[in-house]
Structure 1
Amino acid sequence: MAAPADCCYLGFDFSTQQLKVVAIDGNLQVTNQSNVQFDSDLPEFRTQGGVHIHEDRLTVTSPVHMWVKALDLILEKMKNAGFDFSNVKALSGSGQQHGSVYWRKGARQALQHLDPGRDLHSMLQGSFAVQDSPVWMDSSTTEQCQCLESAVGGAQQLADITGSRAYERFTGNQIAKIHQFQTDKYNETERISLVSSFAASLFLGDYAAIDYSDGSGMNLMDIFTKKWSQPCMNATVPQLAEKLKEPKPSTAVLGSVSPYFIERFGFPEDCKVVAFTGDNPGSLAGMRLQEGDIAVSLGTSDTVFLWIKEPRPTVEGHIFCNPVDCHSYMALICYKNGSLTRERIRNECAEGSWEGFSRALRSVPIGNNGNIGIYFDAMEITPPAVGVHRFDKHGRWVATFTREVEIRALVEGQFLAKRVHAQKLGYKIIPGTRVLATGGASSNKDILQVLSDVFNAPVYTIDVANSACLGGAYRAMHGLVAESGVSFAEAVRKAPGAQLAVTPTTGAEEIYGPLLKRYAELEEKVLKDTTG
């Protein structure tokens, strides 16, 4: 797809702690970046880390007006810096997943009649029935989750429909809680948005549809029919569909920007608003994952993103509709025991030195002579188990390993776990599969070599500091041509590529194939011992 170099596409990300924007030109080069930090730039909302943590320590919310004011602020910053909005052909973006916004009756009229002489936040002051929006950090809806799973036949049945078992942070359960405990405010609500579709609504000057991909994180949408699941809706709130309306494809062009932005900032009249999505799906787009790829973020928590064709939902992990290909899916698995566990073992076994850690890792043959370690310093998410568990080549429990064996057992164990659970969700290694690595540990080539060997695929490194933002800009560009059959990969082929870091060691698959099976069996044993 050819595009004039002077045209521009914007990607926004309404994340937990800040609002970010990236501009790319027709050659997909980043030309402008800006951000608004909620705590420091908008101190009047008195957030910490962008949120309010309530007295029960379970309820976590963010002021919806803060997000509106942040958009005012970031656009003014760009305007004052001389950014030329007249070149913007399309915009899109993302929002923190699962958060919800409750538009008060009459808010649509306010959106449709914005005065370009005034700030958005001053005009939308009375437009929200719920002032503090529940966000993804909230864990106060256990009762609602239990009711939902019970109503549809259990956790696995719910996952089979919506891609995930019931989670406290998921939007349907948050809606059910507000309906139950803030009935008056719920009854004042004429439309419920996700943070992503709320952001799109601001630009559109009308209510924006929830997209398929972010809609997958609500415990409400059938990810296979891409329609609201009636059993899930019935178990949440009566007549909920009226407040949600039908979801739309993530590639959909929702319309042109509101006259407000044309007159106030100089956007062109034909600037299109492409559906916004969740931040995790946005990151998949920003990292330019392709079919068969896996992205591994090695940070405080380790996160795995997968592009899959034939999902197999389980009670672990999440399946979402793919934000750039309506015929595919993405899976997400999060592990609590990431870099902090690696740092603990480095401190104990390599005197705090990453160089010593790497040296020890190289000194032991791949496969660790059959020794396997499972290291859950904190209660893990996938699987829900805790403790350090060491096994020799015969599967017998052992109390200690040597320092070198301990280091390799940790790294191999973490990556064996990622492949085992990825395959449970439907992941398959196919010709051309790449592993895209990011996060702090991706700078260590010896760690990446183990990752490459376990997955039997080349590992590429990628800088994704603004991946959700960048994904929004890429998706804005793709949205203009998606209906004509242009694939996302084709639309963004000019984007800077990932860098090849390592390739699999010859013979690695023969060693790790049997180890994967053994690891899965030992993890199951640990799970039974921990919970039994």
Structure 2
Amino acid sequence: MAEHASRRCCLGWDFSTQQVKVVAVDADLNVFYEESVRFDRDLPEFGTRGGVHIHKDGLTVTSPVLMWVQALDIVLEKMKASGFDFSQVLAVSGAGQQHGSVFWKAGASQVLTSLSPDLPLGQQLQACFSITDCPVWMDSSTTAQCRRLEAAAGGAQALSRLTGSRAYERFTGNQIAKIYQQNPEAYSNTERISLVSSFAASLFLGSYSPVDYSDGSGMNLLQIHDKVWSQVCLGACAPRLEEKLGPPVPSCAAVGAISSYYVWRYGFHPGCQVVAFTGDNPASLAGMRLEEGDIAVSLGTSDTLFVWLREPVPALEGHVFCNPVDPQHFLALLCFKNGSLTREKVRDESASCSWGEFSRALRSTQMGNGGNLGFYFDVMEITPEATGRHRFNAEGHEVSAFPRDVEVRALVEGQFMAKRLHAEGLGYRVGLVAGTNMPFSEVVKLAPNPRLAATPAPGAAQVYEALLPKYAKLEQRILSQVQGPPE
């Protein structure tokens, strides 16, 4: 490994839910080194499952902050043992799981600026946190705080227009409000509140790193158009909050040189720069090299849709974040809970548990599925808030079942029409848009192009353009059945 580890490079760090990982990227954007620590496996003393602690109420979910610190220690020591040449690192940056927060105790900044290179970080930072188990994105215990924040902002839609999202339980502003209300002593003893991303950057900087615009817009606290903290939202959450957060910065900002701790302990060059870390979702937009007009869909347990927007329309569903690549533009994100597990279930029921049979069913049916439309919400959906399976024939009448091949196509078409419908609700318009020739595009032009997996079939645009209004109308019918008539 050592002979390959002496290239000039940048380090990219990922502080995710289940691990801390690093990649080294050379000047040609080739990844030539990787290392990681998995929390459950490598740090069992913290007793996490999936990297978190799920509390007895089933709603509160936290992670021990020192686990993240010790994981960084372990990764760096592994790199050192492998012969990695830290002196060649020009810059470090990275991503953190979005919506997690870290509460630094009064006096922690002095510890950060005077770290001893003779000791690991975990040993020196043990007493630096006023909250030792930090809330993370899986937490859903702040419903009361969400309702209070929406009321203070003039309603859910007003809050969405201001901050990019209605109030969500996992968002950091609501988590801060809960800690202030339930543990005022710890809040009072907190001198700085970081996101996981800015916390990680702070470890490298040796001082508090600012929150970046993009990750900061997942807090229900940042005015996404003005890029400043909302005084209304701050006041609704906790006192003196602005001073505990510090001013936000662009996501591509260089926030300072690396701490001398890393120069003396590992051999980093003193000129190595720390670039603001951001959230994992914004980082995905940058990693996919999206540009204005692009759309990306991650097909996982939940499906996540990313859209680059110039003029967003914040709504009661989905999220609008500041764009990490171009601070004048935006990133819209939609999450669909019924993703791969629902597709696998329909595959098992209608395609003999075979993806080959599933694909054959798609090929045997025509685009538009003869006007048959299906909605498959095996668990309560996020976008839209509905549950159950609903099937409609070409005349718009609800039916109890489809033929097996029709069922497969109805699932696939329905899921993707939902993504288009709700993306358009946030301001996205389907069409070809020229690239914007941004500096970031120049930076990544040497990187391999993402592999093209599929292209639209001829005539697909016309078929689904005509079918989409019918799909939207039927979705509204389902929602009216679930939610009942307006009061």
- What TM bracket, shorter-length normalisation? over 0.9
Equivalent runs, 1:371-386 vs 2, <5 Å: 371-386=372-387
Distance 1:521 1:486 in 2: 39
- Once the two structures are TM-superposed, the CA of residue 296 in structure 1 deviates from its matched residue by 0.7
Which structure has more RCO (C-alpha within 8 Å, separation ≥ 6)?
1
Please tell me whether the aligned partners of residues 293 and 433 of structure 1 are also in contact (alpha carbons under 8 angstroms). Answer: no
- Once the two structures are TM-superposed, the CA of residue 486 in structure 1 deviates from its matched residue by 6.2
Distance 1:411 1:287 in 2: 23
**Match of 1:243?**
244
**Match of 2:112?**
111
**Match of 1:184?**
185
**Match of 1:312?**
313
What TM-score does the superposition give when structure 1 sets the normalisation length?
0.88
- Once the two structures are TM-superposed, the CA of residue 430 in structure 1 deviates from its matched residue by 3.3
- Once the two structures are TM-superposed, the CA of residue 433 in structure 1 deviates from its matched residue by 8.0
Q: How much is the aligned-residue C-alpha RMSD, in angstroms?
A: 1.3
**Match of 2:445?**
493
- Which residue identity does 1:488 align to in structure 2? F
**Match of 1:174?**
175
Please tell me whether the aligned partners of residues 172 and 220 of structure 1 are also in contact (alpha carbons under 8 angstroms). Answer: yes
The secondary structure found in structure 2 opposite 1:21 is strand
The secondary structure found in structure 2 opposite 1:32 is strand
Distance 2:43 2:413 in 1: 44
**Match of 2:37?**
36
Distance 1:55 1:505 in 2: 50
Distance 1:427 1:495 in 2: 27
Q: Percent identity?
A: 61
1:502 and 2:460 correspond: no
Q: Deviations over 1:112-138 (max 9, x none)?
A: 000001111111111111111111111
Please tell me whether the aligned partners of residues 210 and 248 of structure 1 are also in contact (alpha carbons under 8 angstroms). Answer: yes
- Once the two structures are TM-superposed, the CA of residue 292 in structure 1 deviates from its matched residue by 1.1
Distance 1:228 1:432 in 2: 32
Q: Deviations over 1:179-224 (max 9, x none)?
A: 0011111111001000100000000000000000000000000000
**Match of 2:478?**
526
Equivalent runs, 1:7-406 vs 2, <5 Å: 7-406=8-407
**Match of 2:3?**
none
Distance 1:208 1:194 in 2: 10
Distance 2:316 2:280 in 1: 22
Aligned pairs, number: 478
Task: Structure 1: state its 5+ residue gaps.
Answer: 435-484
Q: Deviations over 1:332-351 (max 9, x none)?
A: 11111111111111111111
List structure 1 segments (4+ residues) > 4 angstroms apart after TM superposition: none
Distance 1:283 1:401 in 2: 37
Distance 1:509 1:155 in 2: 34
- Which residue identity does 1:499 align to in structure 2? R
- Structure 2 CA distance for partners of 1:433 and 1:35, relative to 1, 3 Å: farther
Distance 2:54 2:438 in 1: 44
Q: Deviations over 1:395-448 (max 9, x none)?
A: 1111111111111001000000000001111112332589xxxxxxxxxxxxxx
- Once the two structures are TM-superposed, the CA of residue 6 in structure 1 deviates from its matched residue by 3.0
- Which residue identity does 1:491 align to in structure 2? V
Distance 1:150 1:125 in 2: 38
The secondary structure found in structure 1 opposite 2:390 is strand
**Match of 1:512?**
464
Task: Structure 2: state its 5+ residue gaps.
Answer: 1-5
- Structure 2 CA distance for partners of 1:513 and 1:433, relative to 1, 3 Å: farther
- Once the two structures are TM-superposed, the CA of residue 514 in structure 1 deviates from its matched residue by 1.5
Distance 2:7 2:114 in 1: 31
